[in-house]
Amino acid sequence: MPSFQHFPAPIRAVARHAILSNWIVPVPAFLRGLAIASVLNNTAPPAYLLGHVKDGGWWYFFMVGIAVKAPIAFLILCLIGLLALVEFARAGKWTALAPAVSVAAILIATMSVKYYAGVRHVMVLFPLLAMVAGCAAAHLWQLRLPVRLAGKLLLLCLLAWQVHATVMASSDFLAYFNEFVSDPSKALVAGCDLDCGQDVLRLSQALQDRKVQTAHIALWSSADMTQMGLPPFDILAPFQPVRGWVAVSSRARRLGCVFHETYPLGAFAWLNGYQPVALVGKTIQLYYIPD
């Protein structure tokens, strides 16, 4: 169990007594998860959003996350779906509002959270939003004259846009961001919203193709780098410019996170004076720093 110092006093006393007395409790893993979540929330760790870092994050973090991670066509269908649900409400079919109300309830609940580490924490929203989008699709298809044709054409265009976004992201689903974002690393970078070490093997291939003999790397990954087919390398130290080939991932560049170590912000800012030779995958910038 984690430390109980952040628990309310009565709960802290009961929890300590339970541990010391070795109580038999139901669903211990669930209780441990609640305890860890409580500690994380009360410590208010730093969060990253839109190029800024703030302890405890922002109440609108997940709203922004959904806005930049969900396909735009899907978001448009969700908005149309909300309008379509108004007709169900007017007809007294209140149960049809359940998905939309659930989405609102979850988002409202997250506003008081102080631990923002990725959109995956609200992944349950997406099937609920899909129900709202499905309602929009049915509404557009069933519109009456004189807008019947316009509704069907709009629906077909949105579905085609959605298919296009899916196909274009097919090799990098994890790093997908919609067209609202030109540089994903400025929007979200922590919590595997962009960089979760998924491009290490691509980096290995890129270095092999360039016949690189040695490299300096600063990546966020839990993989065993000695098994990744990389040439001899060293880990890039913070605030220390080097020469030769340098590979830095988005999470390391923006947050200073390198192999689960966290350096101060700006640890690799000296690289801003150079242009990367290549973008490896979606997350690793490869530089060559001349002598």
pLDDT tens profile 187-231: 998 888 999 889 999 999 999 999 999 999 999 888 888 899 999
Predicted local distance difference test score (pLDDT) of residue 37:
85
The one-character DSSP state at 274 is S
* 278 phi/psi in degrees, rounded to 5: -160, 155
Predicted local distance difference test score (pLDDT) of residue 157:
96
Predicted local distance difference test score (pLDDT) of residue 262:
87
Between CA 72 and CA 79, with CA 74 as vertex, the angle to 5 degrees is: 95
Predicted local distance difference test score (pLDDT) of residue 3:
65
HSE at residue 211, side-chain half, CA atoms within 13 A, is 0
pLDDT tens-place string over residues 66-91: 999 999 999 999 999 998 888 888 88
> pTM here?
0.82
- How far apart CA 118 and CA 65 sit, in angstroms, is 8
Cβ–Cβ < 8 Å for 96, 132: no
Segments of the chain scoring below 50 in pLDDT: none
Cβ–Cβ < 8 Å for 283, 194: yes
Residue keyed to tokens 């999470």 = 251
Q: Name the nearest CA neighbour of 279 among 249, 244, 234.
A: 249
Q: Which residues contact 271 (CB under 8 A, 6 or more apart)?
A: 246, 248, 253, 285, 287
What are 287's strand-pairing partners?
246
The one-character DSSP state at 263 is P
Cβ–Cβ < 8 Å for 49, 57: yes
